[in-house]
Each structure stands twice: as C-alpha cells, then as structure tokens.
Structure 1
C-alpha cells in the first residue's frame, strides 16, 4: 500500500521542482542616479530581462544628496536592495570593510576591466575588488566650432598652440576665450588642475608615486600645472572671480565663450540647450611638446556591487556579469552620452562628441584624479584644499609654489606613505 503513495509523492515533487525553479526572482538596485530612472526602466533592464526571463530587476533610486545616509541605514537594518550602486573610493570601501558589499574579485567579467578602471572599487592593496566598474567621465576642452571657423582656428595640440589660440580669440574680442569662474572653487581644480595636470605628472606614474611618497606636491611636475593655471587668468573674461559654475555653463551655451574647460558629463546637458545654434567640438589637454605622450583624466565615476546579505546571490552575480559585458557597455554608453563604459570592449557611440572624447583612450594614457584615492582621508582634506589652491592660483592671490607647499604641508600633517589611514 505504501509504494503507490511514495510514487505519487515523488511524481508530485518531480513536477513541482521545475515549476519552482522557473519562479521569477526580483532584484532591486539601490542608486543615487534618480535622473537615470527612465533609461534603466526603458532601455537597460528590458535588455537584461530579455535574455534572463527568470530574473526581474527593479531600479529604486534615492535623491543624490540623501543616498549615502539612506543606503547606510538600509544596510544596517537589513532592508537594502540586492545590488548597490557604488560611489568611487572611500564610501564604497567602507561598506566593503564592514562586510556589507560582497567580494567580486573572482567574477569572470572583472577580466574585462583595466587596473585603472577597477582602482576606485578595490582595497588599497588591489587584492580585492567589490564593485563592477560601470562608467567614467573624461576631462578635456569643449569648444564652439562656429567660433573657431570664424576665426580660422585649429584645435591646439601643445601648450604653446593652446595659448596662441587663446590670444587670437582675445585679440578678436567677439568671444570670451574661456568660460570658467573661481567662485565655486571646485571647477578650478576639477576642470583646471586635474584636467591638465596628468600631462605633467605622467598620469598613473605620478599619482601612484605621490601615494607612495616618492614624489611630493612641491616637485616640478606637480607645481607646473599650477603655473599653467596662473596664465589662464587673462582669458576668463571680466568678473570671473565672482562667476559661478552655472554662469560659466550659460556663457558657453549662449555662444558668448569659445572654449569651455570641462568634462564629458556636460554633453547631455549642453545638447538640448545649444540645439542648432552652433556645433561643438572637443580636444584633449594639450601636451607640453609635440610628440609627448598624452594623458587624460578618465575618472572612475560609478560602479555596481552586490549586497553581501542578498537572498539571491547567484542571480545578482548573473546581473553583474552582464553589466561587465560588451552588450551593457554599448547600451549604457549610448543611453548616457558623456558617461563612458569602463570595459575594455570596443564601443561605438552615436553622439559624435561623446565618440570624440572616448577616442582619446586610443591615443592617450588614462588616469584618475590624483586626490581621490587614499590622499583625502585626513584633515586637511587634499581634494577640498586643491579646490581652494587652484582658485587662488587662477585669481593670482597665491603663487603656484606657495599653493603647492601649502598642500604638501597639509598632506604631511596626517598622511604617512605606506600607512593608509581609514
């Protein structure tokens, strides 16, 4: 009598097994990019779900200013999503050190990323990686092609050519040569010092030497970018000292300035504002001498990791493997012009200006902003101090040598090379 009952149970189990296996799993993504909601819901998630029908993904962003605090609270309470969008460097490193982000070092897709791309989401020794790199922003100069054509100007490739172009624009008087102010300070460093600096300190070579203590901010390669910035003052137009970041954006988009020192993140902002008023072009930071190796700040901006407490680790890893794929790189790069996939995959971008920026990776060596890894953990904060120093140098209220000496003194007051302060 027992055999038919057992057979019935086994048959029921056999039928139930595949049905349960096909039950969809829902993964939730935490992010600060609430402006990307439509892109994820309309483009990225449908593409993933088409090839992974048993995994449903929900994008649940928080306002950028609230993200860190909200995410930390959710992680501590055990209510955070399965996938965590990662800010670069210390904020995400802290989550990993607390055991809240999973170690993804062995994820197969990690082979698709360079050491520079992964550096923002690794332990200080590079032994463990905890977020898949998603995108970077590239620094350079956007310019008004109409203005250049009117004045018979060519894209400069050397520092001397750069200043010759600025002189011609200033002499003509139709346009402000460059749109940048010093009121907000951060752009003087981000779009000034960190933009042109890598050509002087040789990108990763100098950045890593600064961390190792074999170079100092008072060395010539680190003072020289300040010396170039000091020369910018004559080309920024009247009242640049009080000019805010939005003011500079408006000067360029309204066609009043010829050159805008910036980063690729402006592409999506400028396109709808400029429309057909004029065509934009872009050139990388000019090198010191013709034939020199060029370096670009290809700065790691956003990654994505796995909540170590997720109930669906295998499905989360499937999604992360896909994020590291060429398919995702192509989708993301075109959905967000100016935010460039960090994958080694060859990507063709529809936006011609975005394609121009990303093409520099084939010509130049990539690096990241010099202050972002390790060196801004103490007080005074090197990143914030570099904002102030760059603005002062441009305004002429601090000499390049004095600014560099102040930064080095501040760094030495708390940072001892080889002792990464948490």
Structure 2
C-alpha cells in the first residue's frame, strides 16, 4: 500500500510538472516557411523582452499544404494557439466553423482602420476574427540607368507609359519584363493593379458586389484594352516566360520596367546590380486620381481550443503595437503594416511605394472579397483570361464577356 501511495504521489507530481511546463507556451501556425528566421531571431525575441516567461514556437507548414493540414489539426484539436490567417474566404470559413475566436473589442484592434480589417471580417462587417499584420502593394519598378540613357521620367499617365516603352524598344532594350507562363501575375500583379484607376478602386469593386456594375461596363473593359497593347513591349517568347524568368530578366539589367508586387523588392535588392525606383499604376489621363492595389496579405487569430488564451492574447496585443509594425515593415521588406502607426521605412524603394498611400487611394485586389465563391471560380478564370489578353489570344470585349457570364451564373446580384 505504501508503495502504491508513493507511485500515486509521484504520478501526480509528474502531471503537475507537465502542466506547469505547458503554462506560458504558445505555438504559431503559419504558411510562411521563408519567415522562420525572422520570427525566431527578431520578432519572438522582441516580444520576449516584454514577456520573458512566455515561450513562443513558430511552427510553419509548407504553403501548398498549410490549408489542408491546418484544417486537420484544428478538427483533431492539435492545432497551435495562434493561427496565421490568409485573407478573406479561407479564414472566414475557419471562423464560421468555430476555429477562430471573435476579436471584437480586443486590445490592439483599435489600431487598425476599417479598410485594414475587411479581409478578416464577416460579410456584414460585424465580427472580426484575425488581427491584420501586413499588406503588399503592386506597381512597377524601373531601371534608373536605362531611364537616364533614354532621357525619360517615371510615367504618370498611360500615354507617358507607352512613350517610355516605345523609347526603350527603339533603344533595343526589353521595355517591360512580364511573362504569362505562370498566369497568376497577369491577374494579381497586373489586372487588379493597372485596372484600379479605370474602375476607381473601391468604388468599382463594391459596385460589382452590389450588382450595380458589370465587367462588361467600359471602365472594366478599358483595363483589358490597355493590357492588350502590351505584347509588342514584352520579351521575345514571353508566353513561355515564368515569374522566375521575369525576375532574372529585370535583375540582369536588360529590361527598362518590370511589373511587380512589393515583395519583389527583397529579391532585387539581392540580385540587381543597379539602382532602381518605383512608380504606381499610370492614370488614364492627366489630372485623374491615382489608385493603388494595396492588398491585405496576412493576419493572425486565436484558436478557441488554445490551452493558454491569456498569453495568446498578450501576443496578439503586441502584434497591434507600434513596435511590431516597425519591426515587420522594416525586416520584411515590401510587406507593410496595416496599422495606423507612423512608421519610418528604411529601404528607399519600399518607402517610395509606401508613400503612394499619401497621394493615391488604396483598394484591394478586385475579386478577393466574395467574388471567388462560385463556379466557375473567378480567380482561376482571371488568371486564364488575363494571360490570353496579354498573349493576344482573346479580345478585351471577349474577356469581359467571359468573366461577366461566369459571375452571373452563380451570383444573384448580377442576375438582375
């Protein structure tokens, strides 16, 4: 009996010790495997200066496996305490299934404008479920040496843009580095970026959702019309040119301009041996308002089954701080905090792009909210259609008709 009491006492002590070991432990789920060093060497140590007793583990999953494996862990109750959130429907679906906590009224959320929260809210805007972390922008980079040789300035209007491309072509340079083999750039970098000044950003996007505008309206067809003119300015064989090929082409110094997302800045900082600058999507004509695609990319939420919610919320509150905003924006070049904090951006090109917010109206990628929920899937359709327009295989009018027809098949506000 004495021996059994000893065993029971030892077992209880071991269980208590195990429980104590778990207290203050947090695990972050993420698809950003490339950010592992950033979290482990910069962000988590910064958090631990304030909360030294909270042990945080960054446990990313490969991007292509993240959604399915996270779903499995959430269903099985083995997921981490903090969930890195993709924008819009993927995270909304998790919230609807009860896998993300509501963050309404939670500390830190007050530091973000409503426009930053839209990617992680219910359709009616009444519930927020992930704290915004970072956004990406879209526009163009240009080779300063080539522009100097050509005697041209960064273009502000579409006419100026074409004059720059024509000058580069006459000088034997590749005017614009862009390929269509991977297709996604044609939509996510090009169409929803250069199109925003035509459909007036949020005004046009919300009009489509409300059923008050159609893709066959002139302001949308105009974006495809512009893209249809780019073929003569792209590199030979551009239809077989991958995203990596495009990066190599501009970094080699052979191209005057490249269509980019702000995340590309890091690559060109490492691989381009020349000075380059940035300019936003040109406006249709002089005097028109500037619009930029300023897209929410990443957020973070709390797992309702976390055994350590108090510390999870401490971490989330820190994500909403000035300190995190500054660290994230300056350590992940080309990703921008979505908070209201004033941030001093150290990288000159990243700062140049961020400064567009001062003079341009921000909008998100056109089809990101609500419009991808039916069949045919609009995201996939836009990849295909935009690539075909750039390749000269589809007319702007046919592109508009195809996207509008597919949208109206399943979306009731478009069936009026």
**Is 1:416 matched with 2:415?**
no
Residue in structure 2 matched with residue 179 of structure 1 by the alignment? 177
- Which among 313, 319, 324 is matched to residue 315 of structure 2? 319
Residue in structure 2 matched with residue 194 of structure 1 by the alignment? 192
- Which among 334, 342, 362 is matched to residue 338 of structure 1? 334
How far 1:220 moved relative to its partner? 0.8
- Which among 384, 387, 393 is matched to residue 383 of structure 2? 387
- Which string of whole-angstrom CA distances, capped at 9 and with x for unpartnered residues, describes residues 118-142 of structure 1? 1111111111010001011100001
Residue in structure 1 matched with residue 370 of structure 2 by the alignment? 374
How far 1:22 moved relative to its partner? 12
Residue in structure 1 matched with residue 140 of structure 2 by the alignment? 141
CA distance in 2 between counterparts of 1:392 and 1:25 reads: 53
* Structure-to-structure mapping, 1:292-331, within 5 angstroms: 292-331=288-327
**Is 1:223 matched with 2:221?**
yes
How far 1:24 moved relative to its partner? 5.7
**Is 1:243 matched with 2:254?**
no
Mind listing any 5+ residue stretches in structure 2 that lack a counterpart? 1-18
CA distance in 1 between counterparts of 2:118 and 2:250 reads: 33
How far 1:291 moved relative to its partner? 2.4
- Which string of whole-angstrom CA distances, capped at 9 and with x for unpartnered residues, describes residues 330-360 of structure 1? 0001110001111111111111111111111
How far 1:237 moved relative to its partner? 2.4
**Is 1:288 matched with 2:305?**
no
- Is the Cα–Cα contact under 8 Å of residues 117 and 300 in structure 1 kept in the other structure? yes
Mind listing any 5+ residue stretches in structure 1 that lack a counterpart? 1-19
Moved over 3 A (4+): 20-24
Alpha carbon RMSD of aligned pairs, Å?
A: 1.7
- Is the Cα–Cα contact under 8 Å of residues 408 and 414 in structure 2 kept in the other structure? no
- Which string of whole-angstrom CA distances, capped at 9 and with x for unpartnered residues, describes residues 132-164 of structure 1? 010111000011111111211101111111111
CA distance in 2 between counterparts of 1:364 and 1:169 reads: 27
Q: State the secondary structure of the residue aligned to 2:278.
A: strand
How far 1:302 moved relative to its partner? 0.5
How far 1:288 moved relative to its partner? 1.4
Q: State the secondary structure of the residue aligned to 1:36.
A: helix
TM-score by length of 1: 0.91
How far 1:315 moved relative to its partner? 1.6
Residue in structure 2 matched with residue 232 of structure 1 by the alignment? 230
How far 1:90 moved relative to its partner? 0.9
CA gap 1:66/1:21 in 2 versus in 1, 3 angstroms: closer
Residue in structure 1 matched with residue 212 of structure 2 by the alignment? 214
* Structure-to-structure mapping, 1:33-52, within 5 angstroms: 33-52=32-51
How far 1:75 moved relative to its partner? 0.5
- Is the Cα–Cα contact under 8 Å of residues 24 and 54 in structure 1 kept in the other structure? no
How far 1:417 moved relative to its partner? 2.6
- Which string of whole-angstrom CA distances, capped at 9 and with x for unpartnered residues, describes residues 152-198 of structure 1? 1101111111111111111111x100011122221111222111011
Residue in structure 2 matched with residue 361 of structure 1 by the alignment? 357
CA gap 1:22/1:397 in 2 versus in 1, 3 angstroms: closer
